Chains A and B, each alone.
Chain A
């Protein structure tokens, strides 16, 4: 639906330089939310669920067949499943070394 994502994670661009979407990062590494794009409705919903810019998150899991991704918010300790279209709108950057 939102285009096929190549599953080879080594194709990831050097993310330290700038932003990339949650769909482009490898599983299990820690990133920082830089920006939430997309409409207001989505924006407010994610804020309410405790996903704010600046929070540390990690991609836990991806369902097959372009299914949703599982994101863990390390700052607040929550876990949510996000459809790909939504995950694409969450921009992340490399986390600084101050992460625990």
Chain B
């Protein structure tokens, strides 16, 4: 091998565990969940194994090499443009026969290839026994068994990869029935000289036959009419074999070949109805399912509050006393101001963010890995349609409760741009972990849990109303739901912990320093009395319209960076500790402020991801929408409370 590190791509159908396998080899780099389509773009990592560097690429899942969805096109670009040195085809062993259809398609590429049977534990539970030697013989490529979620089999996989790279044996394309093969050969022979060959002649010919009505076909007919006529004739002949379109005949060939291989290599014991299946039926039940849905989310909220709130009280105490002792020691000097800012920044992170952030991440990770998101999509599809949305966007909304940024990225799995825009406009209204923290830490902690729960439900209600309004704006035509429901899985703690660690690292590396720096900066500004200038500028909005203390104006600037900053800065700006907050502002003012900050503008990272994904126009729309909603809602809160 030369000094350039070999490129290895992971390809497989959605939700077969490519990213989990990738993570267990490359360290936690790719987001994972038990929902098809979690990876929307490729993730790349250099891996050092036994003194050699390998360049490994994790691609989005694809059901076939004739892509329908945007993220599936990423796969094709990678295979054909980047020319990988080795393909690792990851298979969900519990869905072997279906997954083999893609494997057969990949074999046609005749690249060096390794097949990974992942989720062997799940296959065993389903009563499937796989004869690996037999499968290797049938496919003609090495087959490795893994359980990626537990890191089992990854060493063997790396060894096999190394071996396969050394031998450079190319895979051999599968053989179809004689009549079909005859036509493929015929087409291979008449491929024009200048025809763009992809991978090899046979693959190109098959794809040309399958490409009916696809963009490539139009290109061919414009270029070489004689060839196009021949192509159409062969298609018709193939089509006549089974009385179906040519692409279906070829697909059926693969289907039957896959079933045959499956039957030859596997034994399926009569599956027992396990406890998990019973549970599955229960949570998908057309009536009880909704009850469980409600219980799960209300329970989650309650649990986070129950864990977070005593922890918060306990963690706040030392920071509060440090702050008081600084004030009594140094008076109102610059040093004291800066120290207090520092203490509040550090303490705010530890005492306010962590107690809620970690439990929320844990429960979200749990729901994701169990496979509940796809089930929630199934249950909520009908409601979503009434709101002019797609059941497929349910997981994005649920993801949004963790952080809006990945939720907006995930909108890529929606087929239509219209759905993407509407979903991306609504996601910023979902209380993410940062905002949930604030709602819990301020509203629940200071006003009581019922207020917080009420605020939460109001928030969801607001999203529904906005969806209805947006539906009037953007014409809605429903493409209908097609979503694979993955098996329920017992999640591995390791994988959940990796997710928490991943998010926590982001918080500690980026958000917390900003929080601390912001807090110190604000102290400095207030020492120089510079904050008054900002406050005066914002005063018509802050005190005029919202009826809040003028000094809160400056916190909005920070809120644009990160939502939780506004609320933490609130103490700094008002010059009080956590305990005395309610002595300087009223209940109404607190609610108005929380509502305004929650909605007023998506945070910087959310805005930049909207910009990146959907462009300037949508970003501007998002800002305008958020700003108007924030003003209206907080003004309404003020109005309603003034009536009582």
Give me the interface of A with B, judged by CB distance under 8 Å: 1, 40-50, 52-54, 60-68, 70, 73, 75-86
Contact status of A70 and B63, CB under 8 A, knowing A76-B95, A81-B377: no
Which single residue of chain B is at the shortest CB-CB distance from A87? B480
The reply to whether B68 and A45 contact each other, CB–CB distance below 8 Å, is yes
Most chain B beta carbons < 10 A, residue from A50, A68, A82 = A50
Given contacts A47-B252, A73-B98, A81-B381, 14 further A-B contacts (CB under 8 A): A43-B245, A45-B482, A52-B248, A52-B251, A61-B285, A64-B382, A67-B286, A67-B381, A68-B391, A76-B95, A78-B484, A81-B481, A83-B391, A83-B481
Give the distance to chain A from B371, nearest Cβ to Cβ, in Å: 11
State which of B63, B68, B244, B378 has its C-beta within 8 Å of the C-beta of A67.
B378
Bound together, the chains give a CA A65 to CA B386 distance in angstroms of 10
In this assembly, does B94 line the interface, its C-beta being within 8 Å of a C-beta of chain A? yes
| Given A78-B98, A83-B481, A86-B481, residue A49 in contact with residue B381 (CB < 8 A) | no
B543 CB to nearest chain A CB (Å): 46
Interface membership of B485, Cβ < 8 A: yes
User: Is A77 in contact with B97, judged by CB distance below 8 angstroms?
Assistant: yes
Pairwise interchain contact A82-B95, C-beta atoms closer than 8 A: no
* In the complex with contacts A49-B484, A67-B379, A81-B98 CB distance below 8 A: no
Per the bound structure, the CA–CA distance linking A64 and B252 in Å amounts to 34
Asked if B64 is at the interface of the complex by the 8 Å CB criterion, the answer is yes
In this complex, how many residues of chain B approach chain A with their Cβ under 8 Å: the count is 43
Write the chain B residue with the least CB distance to A86.
Answer: B480
Contact B95 A40, beta carbon cutoff 8 Å? no
Question: B residues near A, CB below 8 A?
Answer: 63-64, 66, 68, 94-95, 97-98, 101, 126, 212-213, 244-245, 247-248, 251-252, 255, 259, 281, 284-287, 289-290, 374, 377-379, 381-383, 385, 391, 478, 480-485
Please tell me which one of the listed residues B95, B374, B478, B485 contacts residue A83 in the complex, with CB atoms under 8 A apart.
B478
A62 to B379, CA, bound (A): 9
A62→B64 contact, CB < 8 A: no
- Give complex CA distance A9, B18 in Å: 42
Tally A-B pairs: CB < 8 A: 126
Smallest Cβ-Cβ distance to A60: which chain B residue: B284
- Cβ–Cβ < 8 Å partners of B290 in chain A: 64
**CB-defined contacts of B95 to chain A, threshold 8 Å:** 76-78
* Nearest chain A residue, comparing its CB with the CB of B486: A79
> Of A41, A64, A68, A75, which contacts B68 at CB under 8 A?
A41
**Once the chains bind, are A83 and B381 in contact (CB under 8 Å)?**
yes
What are 25 A-B residue pairs whose CB atoms fall within 8 Å in the complex?
Answer: A40-B212, A44-B251, A47-B252, A48-B68, A50-B63, A50-B98, A52-B252, A52-B255, A54-B252, A64-B382, A65-B382, A67-B378, A67-B391, A68-B381, A68-B483, A77-B95, A78-B95, A78-B484, A80-B483, A81-B483, A83-B481, A83-B482, A84-B480, A86-B481, A86-B482
Q: Contacts of B244 on A, CB cut-off 8 Å?
A: 53
- Shortest Cβ gap from A63 to chain B (Å): 6
